[in-house]
Copies of this chain bind each other. A is one copy, B any other.
Amino acid sequence: MRNVRIAAAQLGPIQKADRRQAVVARMLDLMEQAAALKVGLIVYPELALTTFFPRWYHEDVGDADIWFEREMPNAATAPLFARAKQHGMAMSFGYAELTPDGHRFNASILVDKAGGIAGKYRKVHLPGHAELDEARAFQHLEKRYFEPGDLGFPVFRMHGGIYGMCICNDRRWPETWRVLGLQGVEMVVLGFNTPSVNSQKSGEGPETRIFHHKLSLQAGAYQNSTWVVAVAKAGVEDGHPLFGASCIVDPDGRIVAESATEADELIVHDCDLDATRFGKETIFDFKRHRRVEHYGRITGQVGVEVPE
């Protein structure tokens, strides 16, 4: 048994008018709840410090820089780092990153229980579009405000386990999970902000959207025999609904804990990292079973190529 008590710290909506200080206060409340339960790792959502701003169009991309962090930790997040260290609790959260040389990423970090940044990730699979698209019911401008991540899908050794991160839309891509799985990942943490309706298909509502969300998490967990913690920012942000359904998924692909609301909510589960062994040593023992000589298209081409 290598047990890690995990908390998925779902956040309810963050309005445009909400200040970071107020959001961090809510995150600290969830952290106190987690500390009372002796949680070892708390996971917050994607873009945890602000509203999901890629729904708002700015002609000048720089006008969105108010939503970005120029350093981490910074004044707004220092209390989170300090309190987590006091509790000896590891944590992960997402934020919009503006680098000193002007690059913008949708990022997340993994902070160890001593308060050091153990790992950093920048979202690779950016959904949506780069230009204003009036045909959509609402905008999803991640391709406008962010560059694709340039760090790949690294794993990090922390407290005796192997951890990986991804963010939101990354979870729909089996490549994400496989690259992490090929590095022996035992726990994948991810945050998401997912609209409750499809901006290009009005009939696709939350039931179908949550089905696709869970399907992707569960397949990724099962096919790589890893724990998964997926944490929502949920609820209605300035009129735009995001679904909840924060989940903890075991290495067999089963959902073992799930949020019940679209508000700030903590769900907690004891995850035995050794439960990943059976799958990794039998049906998904990659070394015995994978046949890379037939996978060439996966890295050799980007889009579809229909053979003649």
Q: A154-B307, A200-B282 are in contact. Are A174 and B299 (CB under 8 A)?
A: no
Task: Please measure, in the bound complex, the distance between the C-alpha atom of A188 and the C-alpha atom of B197, giving whole angstroms.
Answer: 28
Task: Please measure, in the bound complex, the distance between the C-alpha atom of A287 and the C-alpha atom of B177, giving whole angstroms.
Answer: 19
Q: Which residues of B contact A155 (CB under 8 A)?
A: 306-307
Contact B223 A216 (CB under 8 A): yes
Which chain B residue lies CB-closest to A285?
B303
Q: How many residues of A contact B (CB 8 A)?
A: 64
Contact B287 A303 (CB under 8 A): yes
Instruction: Give the oligomeric copy count.
Output: 2
- Chain A positions 194-212 with a Cβ under 8 Å from a chain B Cβ: 200-201, 208, 211-212
A152 in the interface, Cβ–Cβ < 8 Å? Answer: yes
Contact A183 B305 (CB under 8 A): yes
Contact A299 B302 (CB under 8 A): no
From B127, B169, B183, B307, contact of A297 by CB (8 A): B183
Contact mask for chain A residues 230-263; partner B; CB cutoff 8 A; 1 contact, 0 none: 0000000000000000000000111000000000
The 8 closest A-B pairs by CB, nearest first: A287-B303, A174-B174, A219-B219, A184-B306, A182-B297, A152-B294, A299-B299, A184-B304
